[in-house]
Amino acid sequence: MDKEQEVLIEPVSEKPSSSPGENMEKSISSVGKRYVGFDRLKKKVTLNRILKTVFVGLASCYFVSAILLLLAIRIPTPPELKSPLIGVSILLGMVIGGLVGVGVYFIQAKSDMGLAKKFDSDFALKEGMQTSLEFSGDTSTMKVLLDEDLRVRASKVDTKQIKIKKLPLYIVALALSATMVISMVFVPFNVIVKKPEPETPFKLTEMQEAQLEAIAIRVESSAMEQGAKEQVASEVRALKDALKVTSLKSDADQLITLSTEKIDEITRKTGTSYLIHDILIEDDTAFTREIARLITMLDWEKYSSKREKIRAGFEHKEFGTEMADIQKINKETAKKISEASSGLKSALEVSGLDTADPLYSELSECAIELELLASDLENGYINYLNTVGSKEGNGQIIEAISNDIFAQLDKQNQSYSVGFGASDEIRKMFGMPIPQREDNSSEEKPKDEGETEDEDEDKKGDGGYGEGDVFGSNDLIYDKDKNAHIKYGEVIDIYYQLMGSENYTDEEKQVIQEYFETLFRGLEEEKGE
């Protein structure tokens, strides 16, 4: 029996309220039917059970939440963890409260027979209800009389009097637990405060001051664009002045970072390669994006290597295999080249860039060259090998992505090298990392078997003769006199012409020899770098 729920009602009189004979018709009509009184009382009991469940569940929820909240608030934790902990505490409290409520509901649950026994006990029905329930299907006279008697008795029961025992206790418990939760608002947070690291002092040394001044002077006397070099020199001097009055390393680092980034920004604007890169790198076409990366290569070695990778991207996997269909290979390769060309062309057209820009022009030229190549390949005017080439031999694709593009880059690199050189030197001076200038990100593409990483390859093109390092005719070497890169093939042709000419004496040939050696030594120096 549920001891908690006390039925506060006077027991009904033991004797039936009316003799069966007076309610004969009612008695007969109740045959086989469940007496209404039971269901009415059961409904009230169920309602009370739900109410009690709510009380207990809520009180448990509030109580558990309050305890967990107190723990969350008072246990020392970093400030950023407080909100999540509080949230978890409330959530956990709700879950536990819900579970307790559900548990209470089901613990209180009684079968119909259990309820019938309870009603018999509470209303002094002398086991009448449980007897009637047990004989539910019975249609005998006694059953009829019993049900009628119960109906009369049960109808006298006012369900309002069926109350939850100790209800005030539940209300008080709920109020107390709610108060506990609310009071958590006034509990101060206990947070772990990180001790600030002691500030490292900073003092600009005389040497550093002098170095900064030297950098500014070097920039002013460089071949950098006039407006830009004035800005850069001014920025360097401003940095120097600011660092002279800075006493903390953190402040100094911040100043240096801002200053060098500004110098880099000024430097980038001296050319168009970074601007074009930022636009082309967003293009949908992979080839266009590769071109964008290509034009950030600041030296020939890297440029050449990148270009070779682009070329390799056009190689057909079936070429050279036993079942190769040459026509199909040519067609597919032509299509690929054409798509690459179209992509680059479209990207340039919509870029909004100045069409008069030399680098822009060279890139446009590249797109046109590629389109012509594609057409010729498709029509059979040229073959696959001539077009795409191989690692051993340059194809015409390499020609299309011409050295002229690099030549334009090279011109821009003159300012870049000054500006970036200045900012990198400043960074190095103060122990700060030097940023990557080139865009070395790569397209993810499936590799054929046996394909090796291009980065480890000899970046110089193959070709030519002789022992030792072999240079391709399209490789560029730096001519100090001309202050420009020139093709190796052209140089070696000139060399052989001069050396083979009968117009020069041996002494003159010796001078020529030394000159070319100087050139080749430059190559070696580049290699050594």
Partner 1 sequence: MNNINVNKDLEKVSMFSEKVAKIKNELKKDVVGQGEIIDGVIIAIVAGGNVLLEGVPGVGKTRLVRSLGRVLSLPFSRIQFTPDLMPSDVTGANVVEKDENGKLNTSFRKGPIFANLVLADEINRATPKTQSAMLEVMQEHKVTVGNDVHKINEPFFVLATENPIEQDGTYPLPEAQMDRFMFKLIVNFPSDEDLIDIVKMTQKTMDETASAVINGEEILEMRRLASEVLITDEILAYAIRLVSNTHPELSKSCPVTKKYVKYGASPRAAQALVTCAKVKALMDGRYNVAYDDIDALAFPVLRHRMKVNFTAVNDKLGVDDVISMIIKETKKVR
SS3 348: helix
Q: How would you class 186 by CB atoms within 10 Å of its CB: exposed for 0-12, middle for 13-18, buried for 19 or more?
A: exposed
Q: How far is the CB of 13 from partner 1 (least distance, A)?
A: 10
Q: How far is the CB of 162 from partner 1 (least distance, A)?
A: 22
Q: How far is the CB of 154 from partner 1 (least distance, A)?
A: 15
Residue of 34, 43, 126, 156 that binds partner 1 (CB under 8 A): 126
**Residue 246's closest CA among 208, 197, 201, 291?**
201
Of 23 and 417, CB closest to partner 1 = 23
Taking each helix axis from N to C terminus, what angle separates 403-429 and 226-244, rounded to the nearest 10 degrees? 10
21 belongs to the binding site for partner 1 (CB under 8 A): yes
Assign 3-state DSSP to the chain and report helix, strand, coil percentages, each to 5: 65, 5, 30
Selected range binding partner 1 among 19-27, 47-55, 365-373, 389-397, rule: CB under 8 A = 19-27
Q: How far is the CB of 137 from partner 1 (least distance, A)?
A: 12
CA atoms within 13 A on the CB side of 90: 9
Binding characters for partner 1, 137-166, by CB under 8 A (x = yes): -xxxxxxxxx--x-----------------
Residue of 9, 20, 36, 152 that binds partner 1 (CB under 8 A): 20
Of 30 and 333, CB closest to partner 1 = 30
Residue of 4, 96, 135, 386 that binds partner 1 (CB under 8 A): 135
376 belongs to the binding site for partner 1 (CB under 8 A): no
For tokens 């580049």, the residue is 526
**Residue 485's closest CA among 413, 421, 435?**
413
Distance CA 411, CA 225 (A): 11
Q: How far is the CB of 37 from partner 1 (least distance, A)?
A: 15
Q: How far is the CB of 27 from partner 1 (least distance, A)?
A: 6
Of 143 and 306, CB closest to partner 1 = 143
Of 44 and 151, CB closest to partner 1 = 151
Q: How far is the CB of 14 from partner 1 (least distance, A)?
A: 7
Whether 150 and 134 have beta carbons less than 8 Å apart is answered as no
Residue of 2, 5, 12, 16 that binds partner 1 (CB under 8 A): 16
Distance CA 153, CA 41 (A): 12
Kindly write down the DSSP assignment for every residue of 402-460, as one continuous string.
Answer: -HHHHHHHHHHHHHHHHHHHHHHHHHHHTT-PPPP-S-------PPPTT---GGGS-SS
Binding characters for partner 1, 290-319, by CB under 8 A (x = yes): ------------------------------
**Residue 30's closest CA among 131, 202, 197, 150?**
150
Q: How far is the CB of 112 from partner 1 (least distance, A)?
A: 13
The count of chain residues that interact with partner 1, using the rule CB under 8 A, is 29
Of 11 and 87, CB closest to partner 1 = 11
SS3 335: helix
Residues of this chain that interact with partner 1 (CB under 8 A) are: 14-16, 19-21, 24, 27-28, 31-32, 126-128, 130-132, 134-135, 138-146, 149
